[in-house]
Amino acid sequence: MFFQPYFDPMYLLFVLPSLLLALYAQMKVRSAYARYTRVPNRRGLTGLDAARMVLGPVGLGHVQIEGTPGELTDHYDPRTKTLRLSQGVAYGRSVAALAIVMHEIGHALQDAQGYAPLKLRGSLVPAIIVSSWVAPVMFMVGWLLGQPSIAWLGVAGFAAAAVFSLVTLPVEFNASNRGLQLLQSFRLADGEDLHQAKEVLDAAALTYVAALAQTLSTLLYYVFLLTGFSRRDS
- Residue 112 contacts residue 198 (beta carbons within 8 Å): no
Question: To the nearest 10°, the Cα dihedral for 168, 216, 137, 4?
Answer: -150
203 touching Zn ion, by CB under 5 A: no
Catalytic residues: 104
Based on CB atoms, which residue is closest to Zn ion, 73 or 230?
73
Which residues in the 135-174 window bind Zn ion by CB under 5 A?
A: 172
* Complex with Zn ion: residue 177 or 230, whichever CB lies closer: 177
Q: Is 85 in the site for Zn ion (CB under 5 A)?
A: no
Q: Taking CA 15 as the corner, what is the angle to CA 10 and CA 20, rounded to the nearest 5 degrees?
A: 130
State which residue, 175 or 189, has the beta carbon closest to Zn ion: 175
State in angstroms the smallest separation of the CB of 66 from Zn ion.
17
Q: Where are the beta strands (DSSP E) in 11-63?
A: none
* Burial label, 131 (beta-carbon count in 10 A; 0-12, 13-18, 19+): buried
What is the dihedral sign for C-alpha 109, 76, 182, 91?
positive
Using rule CB under 5 A, residue 175 touches Zn ion:
yes
End-to-end alpha carbon distance in the chain: 6
Q: How far is the CB of 74 from Zn ion (least distance, A)?
A: 9
Residues contacting Zn ion: total by CB under 5 A: 2
State the nearest-atom distance from the C-beta of 180 to Zn ion, in Å: 13
C-alpha torsion angle, residues 113, 100, 122, 69 (rounded to 10): -130
Q: How far is the CB of 107 from Zn ion (least distance, A)?
A: 6
Nearest residue (CB) to Zn ion, 172 versus 199: 172
Residues contributing to the site for Zn ion (CB under 5 A): 172, 175
